[in-house]
Structure 1
Amino acid sequence: MSWKKSTELMDTIRHYANFPATGVSLRQMVQFGERPSVGTLFRASQFLSEELPIRLAHRVQELQELPDGLGDMPSIGRVRDWYAQSFEEITTLPKPTLSSEIRDRLLKPQNGKNSRILSEATKNPSINQGQYRSQLHHNNHDHGENRKNALKRYYSAGDDTNDWPPELNDYNTRFSKTLEKIKRRHDSVVTTVAQGILEYKRKRQRMQIDHNIQAFLDRFYMSRIGIRMLIGQHIALTDQRAHSDPTYVGIICTKTNVRDLAQEAIENARFVCE
């Protein structure tokens, strides 16, 4: 049975698209994921259950508003439906019913020598303010409030001194499996979007795309990297509890040689271009 989007779902997506995405840095991911537990993973699940729908909603909205009929291409429509379906699966995943005591523990900051306040995300200097519609916008009047709300939504280490109820572990497992299914669904997004561009060129009888479409592709693929990073990190942290590697925190290698990676990327790009 094929999936079909409903009017109610699209209304919900438009609502979520009004909210800005919350920036998350690699440093924050490493600090948070160094000691994954049922409690920390649940807090991460709670954050992602809010953050991923916002990011997915922005992509659905943009795919609906593409210029010059690009959004009417069959392959683009297929990708748009994938994002909408993933949005629906996350937002409709049942959450556990928790006692007030457990909720208080989840909100309680971690105490002791291992406690820490996670670093703030550093602004990307290569991205101009307002360049992306999903960015957090602020002015002199609302800067403090927006900043507070954004930081408040980011998951942080809390009180893990006692055992957690099995409902939390069950939700963590279900949420991770949902993310795995979404990740597999989106594996072919790049090639499918490329197919959509080819369909557009054939229909318009053009060899090139204009700067508006190129700007969309840049935004779309940058967002895709961020979404897959969040999903991949959470899946890896869930799995890391059973398969620990001291040089990795989730999918992040703390011993990465950036120079070697950059050189490898250069060689790969040279090979493709030749």
Structure 2
Amino acid sequence: MIQVQRPLIIQTQLIRLYCPLETRLKHSSFRRHYHRQLHTKSVTDDDIARLASRPLHPLTLTDLVKHGRPPLSAQALYSSANFTLSILPARLAYRIQSLRNLPYIVVSNPQINKIHNNYLHSLSTLLPWAEKEIITLEDEVKFTEVMADLVQTHSNTISILARGFLEARKYISPKEVTRFLDEHLRARIGTRLIAEQHIALHFSSQPHQELSSSSSSSSSVEDSSHPASSYIGVIDTNLRPASIIQHCESVVSEICELKYGARPHVVVKGEPEYTFAHVPVHLEYILTELLKNAFRATVESGMEREPIEITIAPLPEDLLCEDNENISDEAISNTDQGNADVASKSCTGQDVSETASAVASQMIRPLARSTPGVTIRIRDRGGGISPENYAHIWDYSFTTFNEEQVSLTLSGGSSAKSGNSMDGLNAISGPGGDGANSLAGLGYGLPLGRAYAEYFGGGIAVQSLWGWGADVYLSLRGVGKVD
């Protein structure tokens, strides 16, 4: 019997990102060593041009759940792997072209050049698979290792790019940096989601275990000690926002008390038992960022005895269906969903009108226009946002740094906006695998949180009453009703 060792990174990535909260809390530390040598193929300029010329698949969330509810059969795993393989090479090639379209002196920056090389590396690991079909369990296991390597390779992409742009600030305008990063964030969300979906499906399925077990009877496929999961890959079809809120509150409260000696309490109102289908890790990042801001404002204004109120309100079905009765799924526009990913084609020099089809092809749309959704309001008594700062809450703060702030941030010494000493809550931001402190002081929280919310047709709105507090409305549209 052939024995294939799955790399530990597959397990650690899945536990860290997509397992239920109670499972992740039992695994507080993870090894990041990756020992298996992946087969690679040299990437030529012709390879990049050929892949980048391919039309991008019009990805929808239907694609992510169409393989069925785990545990998947071997054939379903092959289908997932081959679908993933058909999507990713072109997306990586587009990202390489987008980076190369930056001014040469910017791409030459060591930080940005590292990201360019990371994309080349990931494409080099996919090219050996590009001309073949995955039809054996051995190949599926090896391909999943490639996906795990891709996720790990790009885990710190955003923070590295931000620091690279800080260092190259003399050679590229803040407007160009913001445009590039806005586009890159959405492209990155889609690329990671595709790869991580297959990793999650692999990890939650059983056929590959036949390779390392002499007994593979059907009775061993399901372990009676593990109840049926509500997950389909990265999507929790029974996601309870109140549970994510409780977890995020616990994390933020502990750090807040450690750093400031105080911890505001949270009161959850509305419908805490409401559930819908969504990606938990995205909601967890967004809520952590929003709670961090609310906690910090509350403590710094001396109002820590006032509760932070969080209200969970399902979106009414009649509101979701209103004005949409005569609109088919094909008519859902990129503007409707808020998930523009124009970097992949704009890098070729086309104007906006020419990139319309490319933008549409990169959308991730809900299963239906009227999918169930939720609005979460976070209300604090932290004094609100000053009028001069309110206009800039969606900016990447580093694009407006002066020289002193740049120097302090690169050395880890200052907060982006205020210039004050780094507060403890900045350290807990880390979307999509970025390190705990890697984004601290860079002003990424709200813009990145909004990108995650908008990617599935939601959004974030902020209403501030200066001198009193702020209300933040997070709206999310579910991925649909999954049987």
**Is TM-score (shorter-chain normalized) higher than 0.5?**
yes
Alignment of 1:105-184 (within 5 A): 168-184=136-152
Q: Does 1:222 align with 2:186?
A: yes
TM-score (norm 1): 0.63
Using the alignment, how far apart are the partners of 1:28 and 1:237 within structure 2?
13
Partner of 2:56: 21
**Using the alignment, how far apart are the partners of 2:163 and 2:41 within structure 1?**
22
- Sequence identity of aligned pairs in percent? 25
User: Is 2:114 the counterpart of 1:78?
Assistant: yes
Query: Per-residue displacement from partner, 1:231-251 (whole Å, max 9, x unpaired)?
Result: 111001011114875211111
The structure with the largest alpha-carbon Rg is 2
Q: Secondary structure at the match of 1:241?
A: coil
Alpha-carbon distance in 2 for matches of 1:67, 1:30 = 40
- Measured in 1, the distance between the counterparts of 2:290 and 2:60 equals 24
Q: Deviations over 1:212-233 (max 9, x none)?
A: 2211111111111111111111
- Letter aligned with residue 142 of structure 2: R
Moved over 3 A (4+): 93-98, 242-245, 257-265, 268-274
TM-score (norm 2): 0.37
Provide the C-alpha distance between the structure 2 equivalents of 1:256 and 1:78, rounded to a whole number of angstroms.
37
TM-fit CA distance, 1:46: 1.4
Gaps of 5+ in 1: 99-166
Relative to structure 1, the CA distance from residue 249 to residue 269 in structure 2 (aligned partners, 3 Å threshold; closer, same or farther) is: farther
Query: Are 1:267 and 2:291 matched, yes or no?
Result: yes
Q: Which residue of 2 aligns with 1:31?
A: 66
Structure ranking higher in helix proportion: 1
1:249 alignment partner AA: I
Amino acid at match of 1:174: K
Letter in 1 for 2:235: I
CA-to-aligned-CA distance 1:133-156 (integer Å, 9 cap, x gap): xxxxxxxxxxxxxxxxxxxxxxxx
Change (3 A) 1:179 1:263: closer
- 2:238 is paired with a residue whose SS is coil
Structure 2: 5+ residue stretches without partners: 1-39, 207-225, 246-282, 297-425, 427-442, 446-483
Provide the residue aligned with 1:233 in structure 2: 197
Task: Find out whether 1:62 has 2:98 as its counterpart.
Answer: yes
Return the structure number with greater strand share.
Answer: 2
- Return the match for 1:255 from 232, 238, 251: 238
SS at match of 1:19: coil
Query: CA contact under 8 A between 1:49 and 1:91: conserved in structure 2?
Result: no
In structure 2, distance between residues paired with 1:9 and 1:55? 16
How many residue pairs get aligned? The number is 200
Change (3 A) 1:238 1:59: same
Alignment RMSD (CA, Å)? 3.2
2:44 is matched with which residue?
A: 9
| Contact 1:60/1:83 (<8 A) preserved | yes
Aligned to 1:254, the other structure's residue is in SS state strand
Task: Answer whether contact 1:19 1:54 (CA < 8 A) is retained.
Answer: yes
Higher relative contact order (CA closer than 8 Å, sequence separation 6+): 1
The residue type paired with residue 256 of structure 1 is: L
Q: Which amino acid aligns with 1:250?
A: G
Structure 1 residues 185 and 264, CA gap change in structure 2 (3 angstroms) = closer
Mean Cα displacement is larger for which, 245-254 or 24-33? 24-33
